Amino acid sequence: MFKRFLIVHTLFKNSFFLMFFLYFFTLVFFATVLLLKDAYKTSLQNEFATKQPHIKIQYINNHISLNPKEIQKDKKSISSISSQIKSVASYVQGESFVHSLGYKISGNAQYNGNVKIIGLDREVFVYDFFSAQFMKHQPFEVEYTPISFVYKWRTQENIAIFNETLFHSYFPIIESTEKFEFRNEYGTFRLKLASVFHDYDKSAILYTTIPFANQLLHNTKDTIDGYYVNTYHLYEIENITRLLKEKLPHDRFLVSSWLETRDKQMKMFTLYDTLSVIIECVIVFLSILFILLLLYNAIIKKSYQLSVLHTLGFILKKEIFLYCSFLLFVTTIIVAISIVVFGQTIVSLFALPFTNIMLFESLIAIFFLGIVFLIVSFIMISNAYKIKAKSVF
Amino acid sequence: MIQADNLVKKYGTEVVFENISFEALQGSFTIIQGKSGSGKTTLLNILATIDEVDGILKIDGVSIEKLNEHQRAKFRAKNIGFIFQSYALIPEFSIIENCTIPLIMDGMSKQDAIIQAKKVITKLIPEADEQFFTKNPTQLSGGQQQRVSIARALIHDPKIIIADEPTANLDEVASKEVKQWLKELSKEKCIIVVTHEKEYQKYADFLYEFVDDTTKKAKSVLKGPVCLKDF
């Protein structure tokens, strides 16, 4: 058997090595694009979707004062409705008029207008403006740009976010560097917005803790308006909303979903997802087709030699296929190791989030592609052999 | 040695020949002649177990029509040696590698195969030295290539030698030499040669000839065997 492989190796080494060299790059390209696509999708979900309330459950009577036990009981009953519910956070919401204090930073226009104040009981991503540390460092200033925004969001968890866009779109339209200040002047908290936010709605939102939001809005500390529910997966929103609407008492809660108001954005997101898969499939399909044509051509080119061996009584179809499978296996393993070793680095070069699931999915895709390639190459080798390896008489 | 009865070959609706019989004995030299396109090579492919058989074909007691493609390949690798008009040496392999293919494929070690191949080549090409063995087939003359091709056909000591126009590309001297070798080999082996050359009738024992089928049922019919020598 080994001697037969040696003959196949001598006949096909050059053309097969070229072919698998190209296959290596196709696989690397495929795996990288897949990783980056998944990473980008995750980053979109992380930054613009998972931080958003997917489903809003509003008490029919707003600004309800409940004791913590009652809030916990409500949260528990909401969570128990579906295992796909990731978190339930109580909230309070309202609007507050903000005056510009005359600061002019970077030549931007100053802002006078309403700011939506949202108090949340979540610990992360919400800045507690009662914090003593903040008081010491006033005036507190955060600077961000559209590109660094995501980065800062992730590394600096305690910033307050003004960005209506987050609620309305996966694709924020913020063009300039924005600055805002918030400080305590003579014992009164004053919000100073130094410029207009060029977002989707050109309006601002301040996330903070429930007690602080209550103080700004109602001068009380313990009211809530309802709950924000987040799901593990975006595509579960519709299903869970339906369940919540069915199971929660209609006279107490009003359930609305993120999807109902942002259906257009969701469609865009789905379209992006579908298109990227289609484009990726087309590119990979064409690459594989090209490589398979090389394989076919390699066998056609050696048809005379194969015919001589066939006439002498040596049919090498099985050996060619096994040789091809061996090279395919080795190439796939090299690509898989490369992706495991360098995958995270590649993704982090684009400042995108990386998870092991992405890596696992890429590896599955590589091996799946390998199996498809193997099946098609078997058909091609058989056909090329059948057509070309004939008697040399 | 070779016994064929009721052989039929059709390409679609075209009948090349039908119900032909053929026999070749061990220790005999049989030639098949006929004009171009009469079915000589088609018959050769059947006798060489390359093409599927429609009819009865027994070689050395084995019913070839009952064997599948891989079994036929195994059978011919062991029992038949081939000599081709175009020599059919593989350009990727050296002279010695070309000759050792049948032995190595049969499981012999590379060292033993090389020793045996050198013996056979030196018998046919006395001037062959170490440098010659490592040469590429394309570096040899037509006569030398054909001699290497014959060496490859004989290397595994097959019972049958099948040759297709083995001397068509050779000059007169080389041609005579090859014919003489085939004659010599026919003392022990079954030699079947397809050829246009009438000259072969001087060397062969039996002649089969394809002639036009006057009944128009098939393209041609096989006439023979005609005994060419007095026993």
Give the mean pLDDT of B197-206.
91
DSSP per-residue codes, A208-277? EEHHHHHHHHTS-SSEE-EEEEEESSGGGHHHHHHHHHHHS-TTTEEEEEHHHH-HHHHHHHHHHHHHHH
Contacts of B88 in chain A (CB under 8 A): 308, 311, 392
Q: Render pLDDT for B91-108 as a digit per residue (tens, 0 to 9).
A: 999 999 999 988 888 888
Q: For residue A204, name the pLDDT band (cuts at 50, 70, 90).
A: low
> Measured between alpha carbons, how far is residue A259 from residues A45, A146, A269, B71, B194 in Å?
14, 24, 12, 67, 82
Q: What is the pLDDT of residue A175?
A: 30
Instruction: Give per-residue burial for B91-118: e unless 16+ CB within 10 Å, then b.
Output: ebbbbbbbbbbbbbbeebeeeebbebbb
Q: Residue B216, Cα to own-chain centre: how many angstroms?
A: 30
Whether chain A has a CB inside 8 Å of the CB on B164: the answer is yes
Cross-chain residue pair B48–A3, CB shorter than 8 Å: no
B119 against A159, higher pLDDT: B119
Cross-chain residue pair A393–B45, CB shorter than 8 Å: yes
Residue A389 DSSP code: -
How many residues can be counted in chain B? 231
- By Cβ distance, the residue of A4, A10, A312 closest to B102 is A312
Asked if B193 and B30 touch (Cβ cutoff 8 Å), the reply is: yes
Contacts of A10 in chain B (CB under 8 A): 92-93
pTM exceeding 0.95 = no
Amino acid A304 reads Y
Give the mean pLDDT of A222-236.
83
A384 against A309, higher pLDDT: A309
Cross-chain residue pair A311–B50, CB shorter than 8 Å: yes
Instruction: Quote the CA–CA distance of A208 and A215 in Å, as a whole number.
Output: 11
Q: Render pLDDT for A285-316 as a digit per residue (tens, 0 to 9).
A: 888 888 888 888 888 888 888 889 999 998 88
Instruction: Quote the CA–CA distance of A104 and A123 in Å, as a whole number.
Output: 32
Q: What is the pLDDT of residue A210?
A: 84
Cross-chain residue pair B50–A308, CB shorter than 8 Å: no
Whether chain A has a CB inside 8 Å of the CB on B208: the answer is no
Cross-chain residue pair A308–B73, CB shorter than 8 Å: no
Mutation site for A-interface testing, chosen from B52, B78, B85, B90 by largest number of A Cβ within 10 Å: B90
Instruction: Quote the CA–CA distance of A78 and B70 in Å, as a whole number.
Output: 69
Helix (H) or strand (E) segment spanning residue A89: strand A85-98
Which range among A255-264, A353-362, B28-37 shows the weakest confidence by mean pLDDT? A255-264
Mean pLDDT of chain A: 73
Whether chain A has a CB inside 8 Å of the CB on B80: the answer is yes
What is the interface pTM, i.e. ipTM, of the complex?
A: 0.90
Q: Residue A337, Cα to own-chain centre: how many angstroms?
A: 23
Cross-chain residue pair A312–B104, CB shorter than 8 Å: no
High-pLDDT (> 70) share of chain A, %: 67
Using the structure block, give the residue that is written with the tokens 């039908």. B18
Residue A370 backbone phi and psi in degrees, to 5 = -60, -40
Give the mean pLDDT of B120-146.
89
CA of B194 vs chain A CAs: smallest distance (Å): 10
Q: What is the pLDDT of residue A329?
A: 93
CA A286-A288-A293 angle, 5° bins: 95
CA A347-A351-A353 angle, 5° bins: 65
What residues of chain B, 57 to 76, have a C-beta less than 8 Å from chain A?
A: 69-70, 73-76
Q: What is the pLDDT of residue A146?
A: 29
Instruction: Quote the CA–CA distance of B157 and A277 in Å, as a whole number.
Output: 61
Instruction: Quote the CA–CA distance of A340 and A364 in Å, as a whole number.
Output: 12
Q: For residue A355, name the pLDDT band (cuts at 50, 70, 90).
A: confident
Alpha helices (H) along A248-393: 258-261, 263-301, 303-312, 317-349, 356-388
CA closest to A317 among chain B residues: B70
Instruction: Quote the CA–CA distance of B199 and B12 in Å, as a whole number.
Output: 35
Long-range contacts formed by A273-279: CB under 8 A, 24+ apart: A273/A41, A276/A37
User: Regarding beta strands B28-34 and A253-257, do their DSSP bridges make them parallel or antiparallel, or are they unpaired?
Assistant: unpaired
High-pLDDT (> 90) share of chain A, %: 16
Instruction: Quote the CA–CA distance of B225 and B28 in Å, as a whole number.
Output: 12
Whether chain A has a CB inside 8 Å of the CB on B159: the answer is no
Instruction: Quote the CA–CA distance of A151 and A134 in Å, as a whole number.
Output: 21
Mean pLDDT of chain B: 89
CA closest to B156 among chain A residues: A312
Q: Render pLDDT for A89-110 as a digit per residue (tens, 0 to 9).
A: 888 888 876 544 433 334 343 4
Sheet holding A178-185: strands in order across? A140-144, A178-185, A188-193
* pLDDT of A15 over the 50 cut: yes
Whether chain A has a CB inside 8 Å of the CB on B18: the answer is no
CA of A324 vs chain B CAs: smallest distance (Å): 19
CA closest to B77 among chain A residues: A313
Q: What is the pLDDT of residue A138?
A: 39
Which range among A263-277, B81-95, B154-168 shows the weakest confidence by mean pLDDT? A263-277
Cross-chain residue pair B69–A315, CB shorter than 8 Å: yes
Which range among A59-63, A97-101, A320-324 shows the weakest confidence by mean pLDDT? A97-101
Q: Render pLDDT for B174-193 as a digit per residue (tens, 0 to 9).
A: 888 889 989 998 998 999 99
* pLDDT of A332 over the 70 cut: yes
Instruction: Quote the CA–CA distance of A203 and A221 in Å, as a whole number.
Output: 25
Amino acid A193 reads L
Instruction: Quote the CA–CA distance of A249 and A78 in Å, as a whole number.
Output: 11
Instruction: Quote the CA–CA distance of A161 and A375 in Å, as a whole number.
Output: 53
- By Cβ distance, the residue of A314, A391, A392 closest to B105 is A314
CA closest to A312 among chain B residues: B77
Q: Which positions ≥6 away from A120 have C-beta within 8 Å?
A: A89, A90, A91, A126, A207, A208, A209, A210, A228
Long-range contacts formed by A12-21: CB under 8 A, 24+ apart: A12/A298, A12/A302, A12/A320, A12/A323, A15/A294, A15/A297, A15/A298, A15/A301, A15/A302, A16/A295, A16/A298, A16/A323, A16/A324, A16/A327, A17/A327, A18/A294, A19/A291, A19/A294, A19/A295, A19/A298, A20/A327, A20/A328, A20/A330, A20/A331
Q: Render pLDDT for A160-182 as a digit per residue (tens, 0 to 9).
A: 333 333 333 333 323 333 344 45
